[in-house]
Amino acid sequence: MSFCKRCGATKEQGLEFCVKCGEVEIAADFWEWECMECGAPMRPDREYCVRCGKAYGFLENEDIPSGTKNTIFEMIREGVNDNKHPFKIASDLFHTFGELNFDWQRIAVTECAIIKGDRYVLRLLEHQEIRKKNETKVLGTSAVDACPWCKENIHGKVFFVISEDEAPLNVLNHPMWDTHLWRGKRNFNRYFSKYKVRRSLNDEIEILPRPQEEIAKACFGGAHPNCRCWFTPYFDGMKIGADGYVIP
Ligand SMILES: [Zn+2]
Ligand SMILES: [Zn+2]
Ligand SMILES: [Zn+2]
């Protein structure tokens, strides 16, 4: 058990901030910037705020005209079709949209993963139809140095793969969001924290439990920017060890 350095409250396991006072406790020597949503210090290599869970780096989160956004998406899609490396796509984007001050490398890597993830789902479902199977399952695997969220929510977990028609698209707190994956499932407007952080006018922080419909879920092609988790076909009878990997 550990305690908050600032207020002494018991620290909840797996969380990098105190649920009582909001103190962010990541061991880092420098903060490059602050979370735009809650003001918590952010490490430059983090793709989401450890306190309020806001994700940074998804192109869909960026405040740019939808026409420009579509052109960017189109360029990335064409790049993937031409088998271009994400870094090459990033440099093409930089040369076309240089006046937009974006981290093109992060955007290209993230969006390429989304496109490839969506195509992978299509192939899995085609395979299901050809083989006349009635379900498709996949096992999630995270890199050894993956973030705590991915290790808890993706690594070693088995998910059902379904088509968009079967997905609870309009029921954002449906339990299938925890157990099923589908094409187009994204974490837009969802947060990587079980808590909601509110800042009052006198800068005090209030922490409340976050409703299910606002909590990020596992999905193909990266649950958050720079997520490198992957999914492999899972068959009944496969045994998964305590380390989250299939036992040979
Ligand atoms: Zn505290
Ligand atoms: Zn935040
Ligand atoms: Zn991940």
How far apart are the CA of 10 and the centre of ligand 1, in A? 8
What's the chain's average pLDDT? Answer: 89
For the segment 85-144, what is each residue's pLDDT rounded down to a tens digit? 999 999 999 999 888 878 888 888 888 988 999 999 999 999 999 999 999 999 999 999
Q: Which of 56, 88, 97, 78 is nearest to 191 (CA)?
A: 56
Residue 18 neighbours by CB under 8 Å, 6+ apart = 4, 6, 7, 9, 11, 25
How far apart are the CA of 13 and the centre of ligand 1, in A? 13
How far apart are the CA of 92 and the centre of ligand 3, in A? 26
Per-domain boundaries in the chain: 33-234
- What pLDDT is attached to residue 182? 96
Its pTM stands at 0.85
- What pLDDT is attached to residue 66? 82
Are 57 and 47 contacting, i.e. CB atoms less than 8 angstroms apart? yes
How far apart are the CA of 176 and the centre of ligand 2, in A? 27
- What pLDDT is attached to residue 43? 75
Please say if the pLDDT value at position 26 is more than 70. Answer: no
For the segment 167-180, what is each residue's pLDDT rounded down to a tens digit? 999 999 999 999 99
Please say if the pLDDT value at position 32 is more than 80. Answer: no
Looking at residue 232, what DSSP letter applies? E
How far apart are the CA of 79 and the centre of ligand 2, in A? 33
Give the ligand whose atoms come closest to the C-alpha of residue 192. Answer: 2
Please say if the pLDDT value at position 59 is more than 80. Answer: no
